[in-house]
Chain A
Amino acid sequence: MKVLVAEDDPILCPMLESMLVTWGYEVVTATDGQEAWELLRDKEAPRMAVIDWMMPRMDGLQICRRLRELHRRHYVYTILLTARASKEDLLKGIEAGADDYIVKPFDRNELRARLRAGERVLSLQAAMAEESERLAVTLRSIRDGVIVVDHEGKVILLSYVAEQLTGWSASEALGVSLGEIFNVIDESTRKKRYCPVRKVLITGKPVSPINHGILVSRQGKEIPVDYNCAAVRDTSGAITGVVLVFRDVTRQKRSEREMQNALALLDAVVSHLPLSVFLRNAKDRRIVLCNKASEIMLGRRTEDIIGRTIEHLFDKDQAEALSWIDSEVLASKKLVEVPAMTLDDPTNGSRVWHIYMSPIVDAYGEADYILCIGLDITERKRAERDREKSEIRLRHTQKMESIGQLAAGIAHEINTPTQYVGDNTRFLSDSFEDILKLLAKYAELVSAAKTGSLTPELVEETEALAREVDIDYLTSEIPTAINESLVGIERISKIVRAMKEFSHPGTDEKIPVDLNKAIETTVTVARNEWKYFAEVVLDLDPDLPLVPCIPDDFNQVILNLLVNAAHAIADVVGDGSVGKGTITISTRKSDGWAEIRVADTGTGIPESIRSKIFDPFFTTKQVGKGTGQGLSIAHAVIVDKHCGDISFESEVGKGTTFLIRIPIDYCAEKREAA
């Protein structure tokens, strides 16, 4: 420690010097007041000074006074050394700024003790200065503005940041009322806010952070701030001031707003999705977010969904099914897809959902949330079902249509013979009357002959009558009329019989069928469809065994092929000018298969459509002439129901042959089906 010894006494000065050096102080000496002052003003000035009151050029009092006026950062501890021992002098010295006072002649131990005391004061003072420096640096370093006011609300400290924000410099602000400097309005109402410091001064309680305020700076700049304040108390607990801390929240506000916007956007996107979307916390499985569309899936209003679990929203079975998916999602940490899940919901009935469930994984790979997206596929499923139904209906329609067409044809087949059987019968009836008349005449002739009264007139009359009724015509025509009528009746019976067999009381089971007979029946029933264009030649294998078949379906197939063949020929023979075509139907047995060939001499199938002819709805006939189902049904019946196959060979301009193969051995068929 460096100590100044200012003493004009040439003996005392070196004595003091040597004493202090002995005690371990570094000593500088001055022998008059001016010199002492010069040393104390120096930058490297000693921290303690032992100053004689009475000195030439400047006395000790003067030095103390000047020293105090300097407001130096480093405090200089001064001890006045004097012979004046009166109380007034002592007060005078302290008043002038001296820290201590030693009366000459002094005791060396006393001096040492006083120097020690001075040292303690200095070190305390240095600690304080250090503390205050730390505080100042801290204040400067933090982003918050700090203002300290005294018990009257006048500013006594304004930190650097506070200066920046308020627009006041610390020096200007000192002593100004805080309300003037810290001018805050409400963010939404824009009304001036009551200064919180007053409240603290009155209540003594700290004010917790206040938000949504806007600080209006001295220059009129508006800065969003959050602030709080607390009372400063002295050791007795009395309030001596308040510290106000405030923070510029511009960036925070902006990022908050940006976040809000981003969330709103996301929310809008999600809520407008036509998909049911909801998010559950992976731990407690409570729903934390859901969109509008999910109300349908979950069967409740949004406000009633948030916070609930699946168990609240669905019945036990469905909740369990969904929780299985949860488990899989959490175990695999991957998207799990359920293509069709039916969920009941009390308001909308049961609906079918395509569900995607995926985990939302945090940075450590833990699933925080489970995202569930549901696509309502109820309508699609319904449409699929409807389509299936309509396909079945259409097949039925085709069958009804061909039967309807057949019915018209059959009616024609029956009407025609009925016409001539009726006409012939009418003729026979008329003729019989004539014959009766003639017979009566003959009877007359006979009885006349018996009685011998036969006259040439009578014979002539009889002959005339015979001529009149044209007995020759009748005798030749009546047998023909009877024969033709019988033929007609036979035709009617045949077709009626065939009809009965064709519309075999529908069994859907396979039964052993005589295919030859079935073919004959179908050909008879459909006679009206082909007879105008074609002759049908049957080449049926008499050794063909009974084949397991659904008779109705088999007849339908033969009918479809026969009608197609007739149409193909009709396209060739057209107006009949080139004569009729031929349809040949043959059956053969071949290695456990029954083979049926339907060959026509029609147009043939063009190469370009050969791959399509078995497709449903494919037709080359004009609208209203067919459903395009005939061959598709034939294919379904032969291939799917009978485990057989159907193929064709065709040459354009020559004709087409369809080949059907059906397994004869029922067991073999079963094996194949298996």
Chain B
Amino acid sequence: MKRILFVDDEPNVLNGLRRMLRPMCKEWVMEFAESGESALNVLAAAPFDVVVTDMRMPGMDGADLLAKVAELYPQTIRIVLSGQSSEESIFRCVGVAHQFLSKPCDAERLRRTISRACALRDSLSEATLQGLISQTVRLPSLPSAYLELLAELRSPESGVRKIAEIVSRDVGMTAKVLHLVNSAFFGMHQQVTDVERAVAILGMSTISGLVLSCKIFSQISLQTMQVFSIEALVKHSVEVGAMTRAIAATGGIKQPELDDCFSGGVLHDVGKLVLASNMPAQYLDAQAKAQTNQIPLWMVEREMFGATHAEVGAYLLGLWGLPDSVVEAVAYHHTPDRCIHKEFCLLTAVHVADILEQEANCTRQSVPRAILAKGYLHKIGVWDRLDEWRSICGIVERKAA
């Protein structure tokens, strides 16, 4: 049984939720608290998997509450359900909430969001990692990209296209922008994975506010940089993004989903950023071990951290409410055969692009190369297209150069 805590200062809201979610009572244990303070008391009594809270409440408000929850119960997934629509309230909770839902939220969406969060908890058994990822508010960015973005935001001629272009060249920024745009605060009913659209939806003023005052993006720390080449990761990711899109196009994926494929490719290694920035020393060990023993890095990761960077990345993106297709592609990009879907999809493209990119740049990669999932590709009937894709990727590679 998953344990869900609802917090709202309006008892009628809690009553309504209790009644509406009654059918879920076989899977969920639901508790209700009428204020931040009482919510903390309830949490102290027993741990919860998910907290869903209102933003504006007398006394301790939702942002304060979630900040406390993040500190005390890092594994708990934090969701905001608020009737506020002002930018200020977004800014207040952007650092502490994993997902934002706005009132009125239809029953289906609420149930699905909570269910997804619960399922996510199951996907990653390692509690330490759960806490670590759950506390990840921002991902490190390339210093150059970060500075370029700051300059662009301060320029009077800054535009959506230019901002989007900078963001899409950085893994951390791409992830964060998609996180924000997929929150219900911005009134989007479908999920967004195209960075340019995301930037356009958020709007220039919100983006500036988020970047300049909320510091949603951060520069990579010096310590991390010393052990981990973020440039190499970002370069690899962006190239995989471009190749993923090219491969997906040949597989019959059409616009606008095709644009999403780029983000899927860019984000596939986002878990490495989480691991490397949170535990740089251990991650360096893992890389060294993989090289010495000539085994894939993700296997070493599983052994050392209890999860691969793919699982960690998927967990984070899931927490941040990115679409399932992206989360799935990130989660299984080394082991596509473990995915329940057995047809050509984003996952297929990301898997192939990841490996072809490593093939093309084998000199750069010091750790052993991952290998193509031959069985999976045979099963979905695309094994014979590899040569075609290789040449496409070669073109993409040349273009990028």
- Same complex for A and B? Answer yes
**Which B residues touch A413, using CB under 8 A?**
83
Whether B43 is near chain A, meaning CB under 8 Å from some CB there, is no
> Which residue from B12, B13, B22 sits with its C-beta under 8 Å from A427?
B22
Q: How far is the CB of B11 from chain A (nearest CB, A)?
A: 9
Binding-face segment, B57-65, B247-255, B308-316: B57-65
The answer, among A423, A533, A577, for a CB contact under 8 Å with B19, is: A423
Given A415-B83, A415-B102, A415-B104, A580 and B16 contact (CB-CB distance below 8 Å): no
B38 to chain A, nearest CB (A): 12
Are the C-beta atoms of A422 and B57 separated by less than 8 Å? Answer: no
Contacts of B22 in A (CB 8 A): 427, 430
Q: Contact between A412 and B85 (Cβ–Cβ < 8 Å)? A: yes
Q: How many positions in chain B have a CB within 8 Å of any CB in the partner chain?
A: 28
CB closest chain-B residue, reference A624: B88
Closest Cβ of chain A: how far from B397's Cβ, in Å?
Answer: 48
When A422-B107, A426-B107 are in contact, do A412 and B12 touch as well, CB less than 8 Å? no
Q: Does A487 contact B (CB under 8 A)?
A: yes
| Shortest distance between the CB of B323 and any CB in chain A (Å) | 25
The answer for the CA separation of A414 and B60 in the assembled complex, in Å, is 22
Collect the chain A residues with CB atoms within 8 Å of residue B83's CB.
411-416, 419
Q: Is A62 an interface residue (CB 8 A)?
A: no
Annotate A505-544 by CB proximity to B: 1 below 8 A, 0 otherwise: 0000000000000000000000010011100000000000
| Contact of B20 with A426 in the complex, beta carbons under 8 Å | yes
87-111 of chain B: CB within 8 A of chain A: 102-107
Encode B3-32 as 1/0 by CB contact (under 8 A) with A.
000000010110111011011000000000
CA of A453 to CA of B106 in the docked complex: distance in angstroms?
45
Residues 418-469 of A contacting B (Cβ, < 8 Å): 418-424, 426-427, 430
Asked whether A412 lies within 8 Å of B19 as measured between CB atoms, the reply is no
Residues of A with C-beta under 8 A to B35 = 576
In the complex, the answer to whether B57 meets A532 with C-beta atoms within 8 Å is yes
* Segment of A13-21, A287-295, A326-334, A477-485 in the binding face: A477-485
A369-382 CB contact bits vs B (8 Å, 1 = yes)?
Answer: 00000000000000
In angstroms, Cα B59 to Cα A426, docked, is: 31
CB atoms of B59 and A421 under 8 A apart: no
Residues of B within 8 Å of A416, CB to CB, are 10, 13, 83, 103
* Contact between chains at A577 and B103 (CB < 8 Å): no
Is the Cβ of A577 less than 8 Å from the Cβ of B85? no
Q: Say yes or no for B162: interface residue by CB 8 A criterion.
A: no
Indicate if the CB atoms of A427 and B86 lie closer than 8 Å. Answer: no
Report chain A residues within 8 Å CB of B57: 532
Picked from B15, B23, B58, the residue with its CB within 8 Å of the CB of A533 is: B58
* CA of A190 to CA of B344, assembled, Å: 107
Residues 477-498 of chain A, each 1 if its beta carbon lies under 8 Å from chain B, else 0: 1001100100110000000000
Let me know if B128 is at the binding interface, CB within 8 A: no
Residues of A within 8 A of B105 (CB): 419
A142 within 8 A of B: no
Residue in A closest to B81 when the chains form the complex, CB atoms: A419
A97 at the interface (CB under 8 A from B): no
Q: Could you say which residues of chain A place their CB within 8 Å of the CB of B10?
A: 416, 420
A488 to B83, CA, bound (A): 14
Q: How far is the CA of A337 from the CA of B381 in the complex (A)?
A: 97
User: A415-B103, A418-B103, A419-B104 given as contacts; is B58 within 8 A of A424 (CB)?
Assistant: no
CB-based contact B56/A423 at 8 Å: no
* Residues 189 to 211 of chain A near chain B (Cβ within 8 Å): none
Minimum CB–CB distance for A27 against chain B, Å: 127
Q: In the complex, are the beta carbons of B12 and A417 less than 8 A apart?
A: yes
Asked whether A576 lies within 8 Å of B58 as measured between CB atoms, the reply is yes
User: In the assembled complex, how far is the CB of residue B1 from the closest CB belonging to chain A, in whole angstroms?
Assistant: 18
Whether a CB of chain B sits under 8 angstroms from the CB of A609 is no
Q: Which residue of B lies closest to A418 (CB)?
A: B104
The answer to whether B84 has its CB under 8 Å from any CB of chain A is yes
Q: How far is the CA of A430 from the CA of B105 in the complex (A)?
A: 17
Q: Which residue of A lies closest to B9 (CB)?
A: A532
What 7 new A-B contacts, CB under 8 Å, besides A415-B104, A418-B103, A418-B104? A420-B13, A420-B16, A420-B17, A423-B13, A481-B15, A484-B15, A531-B58
Sample (10) of A-B pairs whose CB atoms are under 8 Å apart:
A412-B84, A412-B85, A419-B81, A419-B83, A420-B13, A422-B16, A424-B16, A424-B20, A426-B19, A575-B60
Give the interface of A toward B (CB within 8 A). Answer: 408, 411-424, 426-427, 430, 477, 480-481, 484, 487-488, 528, 531-533, 575-577, 580
Which B residues are closer than 8 A to A by beta carbons? 10, 12-13, 15-17, 19-20, 22-23, 35, 56-60, 64, 81, 83-86, 102-107
Sorted nearest first, the 4 A-B pairs with minimum C-beta distance are: A576-B59, A423-B16, A420-B16, A415-B83
